[in-house]
Structure 1
Amino acid sequence: MTAGTEHNREPDSDLVSIIMPTYNCGAFIAETIATVQAQTHPRWELLVVDDCSTDDTADVVGALAKDDPRIRYVRLETNSGAAMARNRAMELAQGRYMAFLDSDDLWHPDKLRRQINFMTSRGVAMSCTAYAQIDEQGVPTGRIVRSPTRISYNRLLLDCPVGNSTVMYDVARLGKFEVPNIRKRNDDALWLRMLRTEPYIWGMPVVLMRYRLRSGSVSANKRSLVKYHWMLYRDIEHLSIPRSVFHIGVWVLIKTLKMK
Structure 2
Amino acid sequence: MPNDLNNGMVSIIMPSYNTGKYIADTIESVLAQTYKNWELIIVDDCSTDDTNEVVNKFKYDDRIKYLKNDHNSGAAVSRNKALREAKGKWIAFLDSDDLWLPHKLMWQLKFMKKHDYHFSYTNYCEIDEDGVETGVLVTGPKRITKTDMFNYCWPGCLTVMYDREYVGLIQILDIKKNNDYAMWLKVCQKADCYLLNKCLAKYRKGRKGSVSSHSVKTMVGWHYKLFHEAECQGVMKSMFNTCRNMIFGLYKKKRYVKLVAKK
Whether TM exceeds 0.5 here: the answer is yes
Per-residue deviation at 1:224?
Answer: 1.6
Contact 2:140–2:155 under 8 Å retained in 1? yes
Per-residue deviation at 1:226?
Answer: 1.6
Task: Indicate how the Cα distance of structure 1 residues 220 and 156 shifts in structure 2: closer, same or farther if over 3 A, else same.
Answer: farther
> Which stretches of structure 1, 4 residues or more, deviate above 6 A after TM superposition?
none
Render the CA deviation track for 1:15-47: whole Å, top value 9, x for unaligned: 111000000000000000000000000111100
Per-residue deviation at 1:239?
Answer: 3.1
Contact 2:122–2:196 under 8 Å retained in 1? yes
Match in the other structure for 1:91: 84
Alignment counterpart, residue 73 of structure 1, candidates 66, 77, 98: 66
Contact 1:40–1:112 under 8 Å retained in 2? yes
Question: What amino acid sits opposite 1:14 in the alignment?
Answer: G
Within the alignment, does 1:243 sit opposite 2:257 as a pair?
no
Question: What amino acid sits opposite 1:113 in the alignment?
Answer: M
- Give me the TM-score of the superposition, normalised by structure 1: 0.90
Question: What amino acid sits opposite 1:71 in the alignment?
Answer: I
Alignment counterpart, residue 41 of structure 1, candidates 13, 19, 35: 35
Alignment counterpart, residue 199 of structure 2, candidates 196, 207, 210: 207
Within the alignment, does 1:52 sit opposite 2:41 as a pair?
no
Task: Indicate how the Cα distance of structure 1 residues 119 and 256 shifts in structure 2: closer, same or farther if over 3 A, else same.
Answer: closer
Match in the other structure for 2:221: 227
Q: What's the % identity of the aligned pairs?
A: 42
Question: What amino acid sits opposite 1:55 in the alignment?
Answer: D
Backbone CA RMSD of aligned residues: 1.8
Per-residue deviation at 1:219?
Answer: 3.1
Contact 2:172–2:230 under 8 Å retained in 1? no
Per-residue deviation at 1:136?
Answer: 0.5
Task: Indicate how the Cα distance of structure 1 residues 216 and 51 shifts in structure 2: closer, same or farther if over 3 A, else same.
Answer: closer
Q: Which structure 2 residues correspond to residues 21-36 of structure 1 after superposition, within 5 A?
A: 21-36=15-30
Match in the other structure for 2:110: 117
Match in the other structure for 2:170: 177
Match in the other structure for 1:149: 142
Question: What amino acid sits opposite 2:171 in the alignment?
Answer: E
Distance 1:107 1:256 in 2: 27
Question: What amino acid sits opposite 2:181 in the alignment?
Answer: D
- Give me the TM-score of the superposition, normalised by structure 2: 0.89
Distance 1:152 1:240 in 2: 22
Q: Give the SS at the match of 2:95.
A: coil
Render the CA deviation track for 1:118-153: whole Å, top value 9, x for unaligned: 110000111100110111111111111112111112
Contact 2:149–2:188 under 8 Å retained in 1? no
Per-residue deviation at 1:217?
Answer: 1.6
Per-residue deviation at 1:256?
Answer: 5.7
Contact 1:180–1:190 under 8 Å retained in 2? no
Contact 1:47–1:89 under 8 Å retained in 2? yes
Q: Give the SS at the match of 1:124.
A: coil
Distance 1:78 1:53 in 2: 10
Question: What amino acid sits opposite 2:186 in the alignment?
Answer: R
Per-residue deviation at 1:72?
Answer: 1.0
List runs of 5+ in structure 2 lacking aligned partners. 255-263
What is the number of residues matched between the two proteins? 247
Distance 1:177 1:217 in 2: 24
Match in the other structure for 2:96: 103
Render the CA deviation track for 1:81-139: whole Å, top value 9, x for unaligned: 00100111111111111100000110010000111101100001111001101111111
Per-residue deviation at 1:255?
Answer: 4.5
